[in-house]
Amino acid sequence: MTTNIITEQMTRLGQQIEHDSFAVVDAEAGAHAYSAEQWPVVRRMIHATADFEFNGLTRFHPDAIAAGVNALLGGRPVVADVDMICVGVSKPRLAHFGVVTHQFISDSDVIEQSRRADSTRAVYAMKKARQFGLLDGGIVAIGNAPTALLEVIRMIREDELRPALVIGMPVGFVSAAESKAALEQIDGIPWIITHGRKGGSTLVVAALHALLALAEQRQQHAQKPHAN
Task: Give the list of residues 6+ apart from residue 60 with CB closer than 8 angstroms, or none.
Answer: 34, 38, 41, 191, 192
Q: What is the DSSP string of 136-158?
A: TTSEEEESS-HHHHHHHHHHHHH
Is 47 annotated as catalytic? yes
Please name which of 73, 174, 85 lies closest in space to residue 125, comparing C-alpha atoms.
Answer: 85
Active-site entry in 47, 61, 96, 209 = 47
Task: Give the list of residues 6+ apart from residue 131 with CB closer than 8 angstroms, or none.
Answer: none
Distance CA(43)–CA(30), nearest Å, equals 11
Distance (Å) of CA 205 to CA 27, 33, 65, 118, 223: 23, 22, 15, 30, 27
Rg of the chain over all Cα atoms, to the nearest angstrom: 17
Burial class (CB in 10 A: 0-12, 13-18, 19+), 158: exposed
Instruction: Give the active site residues.
Output: 47
